[in-house]
């Protein structure tokens, strides 16, 4: 399923549940918020997002304390932080390495997606391939998929 179709299906499921969502992004730089807000009527479920590209913003705005920003801990803290900040039912986050260089000893394509919901928070590690743009786009799609999967758990 294409990313836009997946986002539309997620919106319908959130709407059916009367639930809201927000996102916190690092490597995707606003792409995830764009995807979540692209469905007609998205304002009924998507509250907003934070692009926390700089480590300082992750720490000061979203309360991230993880020593490494390319990590499962950081993804979980980003998701929890934006969930609390935006007062939503669900939150999804992205952090990782889009390239061109490795970061924190993590290779290009390493992505962590965090999902925070009523029952807690969980992180997913992904190994994506492609150039910088492809990795960022795939990370957005995979973040929406991770949230959709958590909704039906």
> What is the helix (H) or strand (E) element at residue 138, kind and residue range?
helix 132-151
Its domain, for residue 30, covers 3-151
**In what side-by-side order are the strands of the sheet with 120-127?**
46-51, 21-25, 90-96, 110-117, 120-127
The tens digit of pLDDT for each residue in 47-85 reads 999 999 999 999 999 999 999 999 999 999 999 999 999
pTM for this prediction = 0.97
The tens digit of pLDDT for each residue in 102-149 reads 999 999 999 999 999 999 999 999 999 999 999 999 999 999 999 999
Number of domain units in the chain: 1
CATH classification at residue 86: 3.90.950.20
* pLDDT value of position 27: 96
């Amino acid at each position: 399923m294409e990313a836009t179709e997946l986002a539309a299906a997620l919106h319908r499921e959130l709407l059916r549940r009367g639930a809201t969502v927000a996102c916190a992004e690092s490597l995707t730089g606003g792409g995830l918020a764009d995807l979540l807000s692209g469905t007609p009527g998205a304002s009924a479920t998507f509250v907003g997002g934070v692009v926390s590209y700089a480590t300082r913003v992750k720490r000061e705005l979203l309360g991230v304390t993880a020593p490494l920003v390319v990590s499962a801990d950081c993804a979980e803290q980003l998701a929890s932080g934006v969930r609390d900040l935006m007062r939503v039912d669900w939150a999804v986050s992205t952090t990782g390495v889009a390239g061109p260089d490795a970061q924190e000893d993590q290779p290009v394509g390493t992505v962590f997606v965090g999902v925070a919901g009523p029952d807690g928070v969980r992180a997913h590690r992904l190994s994506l391939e492609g150039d910088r743009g492809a990795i960022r786009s795939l990370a957005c799609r995979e973040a929406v998929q991770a949230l959709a999967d958590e909704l039906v758990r």
